[in-house]
Structure 1
Amino acid sequence: MADIDDTDRTILRLLVEDGRRPYSDIAEEVGLSPPAVSDRIQRLRDFGIIRRITADLDRSRLRDGVAVLVELDVTQNAVEATRASLTGAEPVEHVFTTAEGRLVFTVRAPDGDVRGFLEDTVPFDAVGDIDVRLLTSQSWSPGVGAAEFAPSCAECDNTVTSEGVTETLGGETYHFCCSSCADRFESRYESLEQGA
């Protein structure tokens, strides 16, 4: 299975700094041609490392509510549904799930009405405890560092290492921890495709 190297990490760092940076500038920085940079970026997209390139808004320059950090203690069976509700809500910027199953997120509460926002967005019968803190500032500085490519196996959810297998089925790229998982997945995929 392919892995990412230092050139990929540099490309990722440059894109994080400026997602609109021309491929020619990136190519000059990493010592490749612009088409080679384009191919690498496409490969990183195929791997799922680059999901999209978006605008990094400075919300402090927009008047759109009060910035707060909210922590919710949610019943175990409602964590994913609550997380999905929060992720789809316009004023929510970041959503994190802790190892304990708590949800932590930042939100710009419209008109400062945190309770109203939560009542409209979160199923309160699933919430055990709420902690809301006013934010005075926030910054986001993602980095790649020495990260390695570590997708989850599409079949068993184990971490895929360099011994893993990558397959493309129906135009989608899937990663597997071993050839057995790839074979099982491909067999099920073909059965489903024939039944469709």
Structure 2
Amino acid sequence: MRDLDETDLEILSLLAEDARRPFSEIGDRVGLSGPAVSDRVTRLEETGVIKRFTVDVDRTKLRAGVPVLVDVELPVGAESTDGSNTLDAARERVRDADAVEHQFVTAEGDLRVYARVEGRNVREWVVGLFEGVGVEDYTVTLVDEFEWTPSIEGVEFALTCAECSNTVDSEGETARIDGEVYHFCCPSCLSQFRERYQRLEEGA
């Protein structure tokens, strides 16, 4: 597997700014033809660096609710009413909430949520969201402006071995098995993975 070079990183940066940017335009910026850029993007998709292309919707244009930051304090090691870990239960609730756009877990094990709450009392929404989870406390901050700027430069992309979870470097192996692309740190891990995969298929 080949390491990402400066051209790959520049292509990623340009796509992060605008995923619909034409390959011909990207080629003009990086000194390649449009088809050559397309080949590189395809390789980045196959190796898992690019997972999907998406749309960044400006919800302020849609009048999609009040933007808020919610800082949630969770008791360490406690359990929710259903017996699950409190943090896991809170994250599951947040993941299923339509109003939530981003969630972050702090080093202290607390939860921060960015959401757009539509036409209702924000505190009532928060109470309903975490009902039964066992939240210690929370604070709600109204957001005046929000901007997310993706950064590619200076980032090292580290793929992990599908067999042993070690980092895959330029000496690693990449294989397509049943239509899925897997990465391995060495030929031995690839061989072990293939054998285990085959045994699982035969036992199915």
Change (3 A) 1:61 1:53: same
Measured in 2, the distance between the counterparts of 1:58 and 1:174 equals: 35
Does structure 2 conserve the Cα–Cα contact (< 8 Å) formed by 1:110 and 1:117? no
Measured in 1, the distance between the counterparts of 2:73 and 2:190 equals: 37
Give the match for residue 43 of structure 1: 43
More helix by proportion, 1 or 2? Answer: 1
User: How far does residue 81 in structure 1 lie from its aligned partner after superposition?
Assistant: 4.8
Measured in 2, the distance between the counterparts of 1:162 and 1:73 equals: 43
Give the match for residue 141 of structure 2: 133
Q: CA RMSD in A?
A: 2.4
Amino acid at match of 2:125: F
- For structure 2, the 5+ residue unaligned runs are 78-84
**TM-score normalised according to structure 2 size:** 0.82
Change (3 A) 1:80 1:163: farther
Measured in 2, the distance between the counterparts of 1:128 and 1:182 equals: 47
Change (3 A) 1:73 1:192: farther
Runs in 1 of length 4+ with deviation above 6 angstroms? none
User: Which deviations, in whole Å up to 9, do the C-alpha atoms of 1:151-194 show, x marking residues without a partner?
Assistant: 23323333333333322211111123344433333222222222
Q: Once structures 1 and 2 are overlaid, which stretch shifts more, 94-103 or 5-14?
A: 94-103
**TM-score normalised according to structure 1 size:** 0.85
- For structure 1, the 5+ residue unaligned runs are none
SS in 2 for 1:55: coil
Change (3 A) 1:187 1:79: farther
Is 1:174 paired with 2:182?
yes
Change (3 A) 1:128 1:37: same
Measured in 2, the distance between the counterparts of 1:156 and 1:126 equals: 37
Measured in 2, the distance between the counterparts of 1:50 and 1:191 equals: 30
Report which of the two structures shows the higher radius of gyration computed on alpha carbons. 2
